[in-house]
Amino acid sequence: MVDDEPPAREVLRRYIAQIPMLTLVGECANALQALTALKQQKIELLFLDIQMPQISGLDLIGTLQQPPNIVLTTAFEQYAVQAFELDVVDYLVKPIQFDRFLKSVMKALPQHDIQQETPPAVNTTESADPAFLYFRADRKMVKVLLNEILYVESLKDYVKIYTTKGPVITKYAIASLEAMLPATSFLRVHRSYLVALHRIDSYTPEDIEIQKAIIPVGKLYRQQMIKTLSGTLDIK
């Protein structure tokens, strides 16, 4: 992967770790590092940011005689036409959701590789195992099932993940965690709070209640929260 922003690389790193057919062989903070890495080893799939210092991702593609499969990852939509003219596999706009990331992987990898690497017991419609993430907490990696998350609170450089089994505190940015969680199940309702939609007991335009915890709703997030939860009420 190539991205000059560490939080963006962390999101991709965690996504890659959840897909059996992918192996992360390197991380680069700029295009010059990527050029060196591409010369040193064979890369089948490259996740590449566009706007980076010195050389952009699009310029990097132009220098490659035999480029690998490339998925562009960017916060900007305006480069899409130019990107596909360079024959990239896919174009992901940040924040990237895991289901959209997985779709790109399935497009990028040859079908026979996917069939060989994917465990045969996996159900393509509903996995037998619930989705989960690992977080570093208390000097160990703690497994957190997504369906057990109640809500998430930002504590400056840390987040506190409230679950049905108790809280987990880990050094993480809430924006990065938001990008990793499925948008159909989790919602940002405040600059410091994410909530699990299926765990909401009640709500008003000002706050949400989950298991007796009162979570504030920020003004900037209120309209989207109301639209998501009801789809009918227009808050001014």
Instruction: Give SS3 for 7.
Output: helix
Q: Judge whether residue 236 has pLDDT over 60.
A: no
Contacts of residue 201, defined as CB under 8 A and 6 or more positions apart, other chains included, come to 209, 210, 211
Pick from 103, 105, 96: which is nearest to 176 by CA? Answer: 96
Q: Judge whether residue 234 has pLDDT over 60.
A: no
Pick from 166, 235, 180, 165: which is nearest to 204 by CA? Answer: 235
Q: How far apart are CA 204 and CA 79, in angstroms?
A: 40
pLDDT band at 83 (very low <50, low <70, confident <90, very high): confident
Give this prediction's pTM: 0.51
Asked if 34 and 2 touch (Cβ cutoff 8 Å), the reply is yes
- pLDDT value at residue 137: 85
Q: How far apart are CA 134 and CA 146, in angstroms?
A: 10
Q: What number of H helices and E strands is found in the chain? A: 8, 13
Q: Judge whether residue 210 has pLDDT over 60.
A: yes
Q: Judge whether residue 10 has pLDDT over 70.
A: yes
Burial of 174 by CB count in 10 Å (0-12 exposed, 13-18 middle, 19+ buried)?
Answer: buried
- pLDDT tens digit sequence for 138-180: 888 888 999 999 999 999 878 999 999 999 998 888 887 887 7
Q: How many CB atoms lie within 10 A of CB 182?
A: 13
What percent of the chain is modeled with pLDDT above 70?
Answer: 88
What is the number of residues in the chain? 236
Q: Which domains does the chain have, with CATH numbers?
A: 6-117 (3.40.50.2300), 132-229 (2.40.50.1020)
Backbone angles phi, psi at 79, to 5 degrees: -95, 5
Computed over every residue of the chain, the mean pLDDT equals 84
Query: Could you tell me the two tokens for 104?
Result: 């790109």
Instruction: Give SS3 for 106.
Output: helix
